[in-house]
Amino acid sequence: MNYSFQFQVQAIVHTSFRQRHFSSFLRYTASRRNLEMEEVKDASDLLVGDPALMETKIEAIRLGGPQKLQVIADFDATLTKFSVNGTRGQSSHGLLQQGNPEYDAKRQQLYEYYHPLEFSPTIGLEEKTKLMEEWWGKTHALLVEGGLTYESIRQSVANANIAFREGVPELFEFLEERDIPVLIFSAGLADTIEEVLRQKLHRYFKNVRIVSNRMVFDDNGSLVSFKGKLIHSLNKNEHALDMAAPVHERFGDMDGPTDDNASLKKRTNVLLLGDHLGDLGMSDGLNYETRISLGFLTAVLVEGLKPPFVPVSYHYVIYSIETALFNF
């Protein structure tokens, strides 16, 4: 796939406001000033569950206008690349190096034990949810016990194998110009995500807010606790919307002005972006009128699982091991 993330998502937004007809999947080709939409009819790594339903949804979003739309996006392997320089990209949890090899090793051991369970087709949702709570809770405890510092986060991000998908900055700018909010909803670490945004995008977007596991530091920059509800891969939903906040400065100061989160609940048209079936719950608790979901189901294939259930879960699905590993 040689077209960027920006164009994939921007095409849906643009189509919602400008186009009345939609048959499969649209993409942009050409420069930002001279955008041209082209249908992709035979892309084996693109699936559209119900084209007729999509036409109805896009028309509803178009009629609602930008003022009723919000974008809800997962972070790891959705906004960021699944593969970077030919190797698996790191997550906001996985990139952290505490400066204490013993605790880094302990967190890696937890990953090796729990990660296969996250994708196991033989474990029921209730049991799997408990396992994810255990994993996240133990990991957070190790970060505190191991003496993680804010400076360690900065250094870890600087050395990390992580990158945004091509076109993400332009997409954020496109949405910012239209006053369409972006809610980054992640089971990762808010403070790490913010540092990735600073170091990789080098600018502040007033429309971007983050819901994730947020750290509390003391005056010396050492982690002392986490605040708010623990968010893991299977409990992401907008019941945690009260945790949404603009990008922070160090130790909890805001980079941008705070807005009433109630205004997000009034935006009842949603474009949802995720890479995990659990991400579909990110809009739960929001009384939305119309939702379009776009799934990057790379990990499903990499873990060796079959995707026949995918088209009925996400409205749009992008999945191809070769494409996902080398072209995203």
Torsion angle in degrees (nearest 10) through CA of 135, 122, 322, 292? -80
Tokens of residue 119, six digits: 């994708």
Q: For this structure, is 50 an active site residue?
A: no
Pairing of strands 46-48, 316-318: antiparallel
CA 272 to chain centre: 9
Please give the DSSP secondary-structure letter assigned to residue 26. Answer: E
Tokens of residue 164, six digits: 């945004």
Give the separation between CA 313 and CA 325, rounded to whole angstroms. 22
Give the separation between CA 159 and CA 236, rounded to whole angstroms. 28
Tokens of residue 88, six digits: 């698996």
Q: For this structure, is 45 an active site residue?
A: no
SS3 131: helix
10 Å CB burial of residue 88 (0-12, 13-18, 19+) is: middle
Query: Pick from 294, 179, 180, 281: which is nearest to 237 by CA?
Result: 281
Out of 74, 191, 275, 279, the active site residue is: 74
Out of 42, 45, 76, 255, the active site residue is: 76
Query: Pick from 196, 173, 193: which is nearest to 184 by CA?
Result: 193
Residues labelled as active-site residues: 74, 76
